Amino acid sequence: MTALRDLYPMPGIDPHWHVPNEFDSVFDWRFDEGRTTLMHLYQKGKDMQWDAVDRIDWELDLDPENPMEMPDEAVSIYGSDIWNKMNKAERIELRRHTQAWNISQFLQGEQAALLAASKIVQAVPDLDAKFYAATQVMDEARHVEAYRKLLGKFGVAYPMTDPLQRLVNDALSDSRWDVTYLAMQVVIEGLALAAFGTIRDLAQNPLARMVNAYVMEDEARHVAFGRLSLRDYYPQLTQKERDEREEFLVEACYLMRDRMTQSKEIYQVLGLPEKECQEFTENSDIVKLYRTMLFQRIVPIVKDIGLWGPKIQRAYEDMGVLHFAELDPQALQDEDERIAREIDGDRTGQVDAAKARRDYIHAVAAEGAAGAAE
């Protein structure tokens, strides 16, 4: 299998990224029964493990003209003069690169989450949190596997964007275990859920829908893990310590909002006028709406964990996302799980129908062979 690094359309990408960090590995000698909420989540994490090889139908392929069969409105420069002047072949190539860029960021983020979850296992002081984080390590490895297979079908891939790399670096290098939670479990995972949901709900390609729906089923639990852990921890901090977390959170949210449309590499690779494309993207109504919708998973979590001071609320009001505070995180998680089961059911029906058809053909063939022998 071709290494994804060999599919990057730009040279000089290092094969490894080293993030120095310093934190304590904490043993919990209490071995108590743990918090009921986290132990239930741990049991759920065990029960809902799945195999990316078996659960996903990798014989399905992507559409050569529109890989995930997304609406053209999902292209950031759709409706611009540049888009309108493109011929069919140029639009096909732009769709492929745009969608590959998105899946590349999902893949990069999942590897970051893999490392963050393994750090949480070591650094978090409570055994019940270590138990659940251990299931998340396996989840994230599976997600990297799944997005790696999906991205290989595009024939092109992109490295991690600078803004995402900055936030991941902060999450992994900070010695405070709760900051790793805050950056990964709340901000990055929360934004990822919204971005995955866009593809799950808009893509017509069954493979793309399948991969994103199944990953979302896990990610919803990961966000719940961050919410439950931090909701117990933050009331114990001083106001100064909570203010520091809010400061970090505001910066992280602005950073991630901007990175979700940072696709200048695509314009460079395809020879498009970078400045004009970026100006259109920044002012596009569809991009502004997309950036707003990305925060529907984060805002109610932030409110629930108690980081809800004036600075946070002003930032969310400035972004136009404060109204998401009224959403129910548990209801969103339940819906993610329902849709994954629904896709499982659809696939099971298709598999059963295909098997019934094969059995019928074999039976008819056998009957015909028996008649010929007579």
pLDDT in tens, 52-64: 999 999 999 999 9
More confident residue, 305 or 10: 305
In a domain, 268, yes or no: yes
Does 351 map to a domain? no
Instruction: Return the ∠ at Cα 166 (arms to 236 and 174), rounded to 5°.
Output: 35
pLDDT attached to residue 360: 44
pLDDT number for residue 356:
47
Determine, yes or no, domain membership for 250: yes
The verdict on residue 366 lying in a domain is no
* pLDDT at res. 366: 55
Contact between 205 and 273 (Cβ < 8 Å)? no
Residue 123 per-residue DSSP state: H
Cβ-contact 286, 91 below 8 angstroms: no
> What is the CATH number for 289?
1.10.620.20
Q: Provide long-range contacts, Cβ within 8 A and 24+ apart, for 248-252.
A: 248/170, 248/179, 248/182, 248/183, 249/182, 249/186, 249/187, 249/302, 249/307, 249/312, 250/311, 250/312, 250/315, 252/167, 252/170, 252/182, 252/183, 252/187
Q: Is the pLDDT of residue 350 over 50?
A: no
Residue with tokens 């999906």: 150
Domain membership of residue 52 (yes or no) is yes
Predicted pLDDT at 142:
97
| pLDDT score, position 361 | 43
Does 190 reside within a domain? yes
Contacts of 192 (CB under 8 A, 6+ apart): 106, 109, 219
Q: Is the pLDDT of residue 368 over 80?
A: no
Alpha-carbon Rg for the chain, nearest whole angstrom, is 23
**pLDDT beyond 80 at 193:** yes
Position with higher pLDDT, 246 vs 4: 246
For residue 283, the tally of other CB atoms under 10 A from its CB is 10
- Count of the separate structural domains present in the chain: 1
SS3 24: coil
Mean pLDDT of 191-213: 92
Residue whose C-alpha is closest to residue 287's, from 258, 308, 255: 258
Say whether pTM exceeds 0.75: yes
- Residue 265 CB neighbours (<10 A): 18
CA–CA distance, 213 with 198 (Å, rounded to integer): 10
What does the DSSP assignment read for 215-267?
A: HHHHHHHHHHHHHHHHHHHGGGS-HHHHHHHHHHHHHHHHHHHHHTT--HHHH
Domain assignment of residue 16, yes or no: no
Is the pLDDT confidence value at 367 over 80? no
The 10s digit of each residue's pLDDT in 241-288 is 999 999 999 999 988 887 666 578 899 999 999 999 999 988 888 888
- How far apart CA 56 and CA 142 sit, in angstroms, is 12
In a domain, 311, yes or no: yes
Domain with 92, as residue range(s), is: 4-10+35-328
Mean pLDDT of 165-184: 92
Q: What is the pLDDT of residue 357?
A: 43
pLDDT band at 213 (very low <50, low <70, confident <90, very high): very high
In the predicted model, is pLDDT for residue 351 greater than 50? no
Q: 115 vs 13, which has greater pLDDT?
A: 115
pLDDT for the residue 354: 42
d(CA 104, CA 113) in angstroms, rounded, equals 14
CA angle 63, 262, 152 (to 5 degrees): 35
